[in-house]
Amino acid sequence: MHELEELYQEIILEHNKRPRNFRSLDDHTAHAEGNNPMCGDEIEVFLKTDGDRIEALTFQGEGCAISKASASLMTEALTGKTVQEAYAEIDRVMQLLKEQGIEPDLARDGDIAALTGVRKFPARIKCATLAWHALHAALKGEGNTSTEE
C-alpha cells in the first residue's frame, strides 16, 4: 500500500478531481494530440504563444488519474515560460519520470515532484509522460504523438 500512496499522492488526486486549465483554446497557435494506444488514453494539448512566451496552455481528453494530473500540473508549471524554457522543462521531467537515479528537487520541481511515484510502476510511466509528449509535439508543430514509440 505504501507504493500506492506514493503514486496517488494528495496532489495527484486533487488535480485528477479538479484538473486545471481543462478546456480547449479557441485562439491556440498550436495543438497536438497524445494517445496511448495500449490503453486508449487520449489527451489534446492547446498552446498559445506570442512567438516566444507561452501565454496559455490547456488540455482536454480522457485519461487515468495519473495522465490527467500530470497534464494539469504541466499546464500550471509551464504557462508564462518561454518556449526554450518549456523544452528544457519537458526534458527534465521526462528524465525525472523515467530514471530511478535522479531525485526531484522540491524547490525547483514543486508539485511535479509528486509524479515521480510512477517510477515504481513501469506500466504507468507512459500515463505520466503522455501530456509532456503531446506538448513537445505541439511545440515542434507535429499534430500527433503516441507514447507507444
* 144 near another protein, judged by CB under 8 A: no
Among residue numbers 1 through 60, which ones bind another protein (CB under 8 A)? 1, 3-4, 7-8, 13, 17, 38-42
Among 54, 66, 71, 125, binds another protein (CB under 8 A): 66
* 63 near another protein, judged by CB under 8 A: yes
- CA nearest 66: which of 13, 106, 145? 13
* 128 near another protein, judged by CB under 8 A: no
* 108 near another protein, judged by CB under 8 A: no
Q: Which helix (H) or strand (E) holds 5?
A: helix 2-7
- CA nearest 126: which of 69, 86, 66? 66
- CA nearest 21: which of 64, 90, 65, 77? 77
Which parts of 66-114 are beta strand (E)? none
Q: Interface with another protein by CB under 8 A: which residues? A: 1, 3-4, 7-8, 13, 17, 38-42, 62-66, 68, 121, 123-124, 127
